Structure 1
């Protein structure tokens, strides 16, 4: 089983900025201008652009025009980072892929009850989207699965047209605890071999996922033709969104 995680981006934190007030304040009230202090002392006025420091000495205006810029509070900055990280965790979904090598059965406690094991795996590992290959599903089998799990999961399937219970088949299973199946839009790219889903995630972002099962019966030449068929589909349907993530059983080895 291959597991990957996708993070939904959130809005960036506004950059820190500071402004300067026209009147500088001290612990003893507003700081008086150099001109006022010079007048009270009865001395000569400093030339334009010069100021008097706290000891009565003249400081050139081009040496010190402003006080040092305010430094952002380290604790506040850390809190903003932690808040952003929490938002990212809330909007992250976990996606897994698995070749189940056939339908199995739905008999409770049976060793070949694959769907009961899949549901427990999704629950224990908090998997939101499960990509399946070699599902061998039909509409009747899908109805039985939905009845068994009472809306806890939703299965979207693409079957082999000639022998759906014996060959190929891909499916995308949604865990209703983490994603809303009603927001899912499915497109069959290649029947029984490639199924795409666009899903609205938390935060309102739409992510597109492609589930792949590459054929093996005729070797590498058949797989090459399959991937060309997938590519041609997107070329001939420019309005169909390209996947953000592709997963499945590619049946390729080094």
Structure 2
């Protein structure tokens, strides 16, 4: 269903970052950079990260994989002379990409490596990771070596993208202060780009913008030597070209791009889920209490009416209340921004203004740009350190005991399953045809399950009734008159309270995004307010009134009380056959409390 934002194609985020070495050799030490590498990938949803100056060997890779092996896969090429210099690596995020069918080829040891994997549509994707030499003559030779390698290996798939550290720029605009680079290196890179049909996507998207990815600390000069090049035919499917400061100690910024394909499935933003931390927010709690008191008064009013209004009753009031607090929660979640995030945004905006300002000298631009870039890097490092410290505290408290947290961190990670195509229902003898449009595939899935409910409706009513009677007659155990009377009685307040208490926390909510934890918190606040003789919003009584109205009058159309979000999970056999998916329906928590209360009574 989504949150109203525009749906987008499924995409893989490719990023490249020079981490300037691994930091402390002890992978558990606070100065080891691989904790931050994973943090960057997790926060920014990076599928593949090209790491330069990785400084890896087999022993160091194994120690990292032992710690992060559940969530990342590392492939690397080390410098032939030493592991303490150069080195290029691919880091694949197991949460987002398929890491099973992956192949890597070393082209220039410690400098260039080719990764072959599957794209979001299941088709091949080839990525070239590079870390070019800094010396112009060596830089020129490096690009020629890569071109020669592909020329003598014509059967190897040429890269769809090339990411990394070029250590050369083709345009003086990409240096601050502006100046041209050595012609030999520029020419060699241009010839490789032409041979591989690669385009500088960032510059193609922002032809006149000044932005830089590398700061030379002792001079303050900057350059855009960190790049992503994409095959020209794929350029229309590449989006969100970014140059980002990350919280890792390095004088390089991270460059990234989202890559999709023509036939990639369309992916919505999903439903908005109430964050658990927002349940305890005092400002939002006050808003909910105020709306709850109004709701309480309105329900008291409609319950005294002799004639029930089908458009203004307990159910419609409840639906409006839920919609209102849902909207309040979304607004509040956007306002609660940590102070450091606000400061980072302000510095980013100031840096952008300085680099694009017209009436400023190159000297002033260089100095101001260097100061702001350094400030931005320190702020991001601060933020990352706080985040990592919180994670370490959580791990020390809950990581060694059997708990929900322990289960989550030890769970095998797999990318989200995408349905790329579904086979259409065709007459017998007609070759199979496939639907690839996401909306039409969703309609096919809906129709399939609707039809399952209406199968064999051609049976005569009298035959159906007779079959039902035969089955019922075989049931020897009967309800007593007292039990029949109990089932006729409406749910009580205690029934509702017990049902809510028996509902487990940390369960996935339905389309309204509201957690059991919210209803439980509101009930606890009501108990506290009542004990203190303060005005109390009694959520249990409100839900009880709604449920009783449903028992008496049925569900009001349009209130979305019983709506569900169906998620098809693949079982086995042909993935293009919708019958091979098991549907899981996510229901709203207030609906599940209602059905649980009825079940308990049964």
Alignment TM class, shorter chain as reference: 0.5 to 0.7
How far apart in 2 are the matches of 1:109 and 1:160?
24
For the pair 1:122 / 2:38, whether they are aligned, the reply is no
Q: Which residue of 2 aligns with 1:89?
A: 9
Cα deviation for residue 252 of structure 1 reads 1.4
Partner SS, residue 160 of structure 1: coil
What is the aligned residue count?
165
Identify, as 1 or 2, the structure richer in strand.
1
Aligned pair partner of 2:97 in 172, 179, 189: 179
How far apart in 1 are the matches of 2:17 and 2:146?
20
Q: Which residue of 2 aligns with 1:9?
A: none
How far apart in 1 are the matches of 2:93 and 2:51?
13
Q: Which runs of 5+ in 2 are unaligned?
A: 173-602
Q: Which residue of 2 aligns with 1:30?
A: none
Deviation beyond 2 Å, 4+ runs, structure 1:
105-109
The alignment's TM-score, normalised by the length of structure 2, stands at 0.27
How far apart in 2 are the matches of 1:226 and 1:103?
24
Q: Which residue of 2 aligns with 1:113?
A: 32
1:197-228 per-residue CA deviation (whole Å, 9 max, x = no partner) reads 01112321111000000012xx2111000110
1:63-114 per-residue CA deviation (whole Å, 9 max, x = no partner) reads xxxxxxxxxxxxxxxxxxx9xx84x532x1001100011121344461x221
Partner SS, residue 188 of structure 1: strand
1:123-150 per-residue CA deviation (whole Å, 9 max, x = no partner) reads 0110000001111100000000000113
Q: Which residue of 1 aligns with 2:285?
A: none
How far apart in 1 are the matches of 2:111 and 2:29?
30
Q: Which residue of 1 aligns with 2:67?
A: 148
How far apart in 1 are the matches of 2:17 and 2:89?
10
For the pair 1:232 / 2:148, whether they are aligned, the reply is yes
For the pair 1:246 / 2:162, whether they are aligned, the reply is yes
Cα deviation for residue 193 of structure 1 reads 0.4
Q: Which residue of 2 aligns with 1:79?
A: none
Q: Which residue of 2 aligns with 1:190?
A: 108
How far apart in 1 are the matches of 2:85 and 2:27?
22
C-alpha RMSD of matched pairs (Å) = 1.7
Identify, as 1 or 2, the structure richer in helix.
2
1:163-210 per-residue CA deviation (whole Å, 9 max, x = no partner) reads 1x2221000000000112111111111111001101112321111000
1:145-164 per-residue CA deviation (whole Å, 9 max, x = no partner) reads 0001132101000011111x
How far apart in 2 are the matches of 1:161 and 1:183?
27
The alignment's TM-score, normalised by the length of structure 1, stands at 0.62
Aligned pair partner of 2:137 in 206, 221, 228: 221
How far apart in 1 are the matches of 2:145 and 2:37?
30
How far apart in 2 are the matches of 1:185 and 1:107?
26
Aligned pair partner of 1:201 in 115, 119, 126: 119
Q: Which runs of 5+ in 1 are unaligned?
A: 1-81
Partner SS, residue 182 of structure 1: coil
How far apart in 2 are the matches of 1:234 and 1:150?
32
More relative contact order in 1 or in 2 (CA 8 Å, sep 6+)? 1
How far apart in 2 are the matches of 1:188 and 1:170?
10
Partner SS, residue 183 of structure 1: coil
How far apart in 2 are the matches of 1:118 and 1:182?
21
Q: Would you say the 8 A contact 2:65–2:73 is kept in 1?
A: yes
How far apart in 2 are the matches of 1:203 and 1:250?
29
How far apart in 2 are the matches of 1:131 and 1:107?
19
1:227-246 per-residue CA deviation (whole Å, 9 max, x = no partner) reads 10000000011111110000
Partner SS, residue 45 of structure 2: coil
C-alpha distance 100-222 of structure 1, shift in aligned 2 (>3 A): same
Q: Which residue of 2 aligns with 1:27?
A: none
Q: Where in structure 2 are the equivalents of 1:53-64 lying within 5 Å?
A: none
Q: Which has the larger radius of gyration?
A: 1
How far apart in 1 are the matches of 2:106 and 2:28?
32
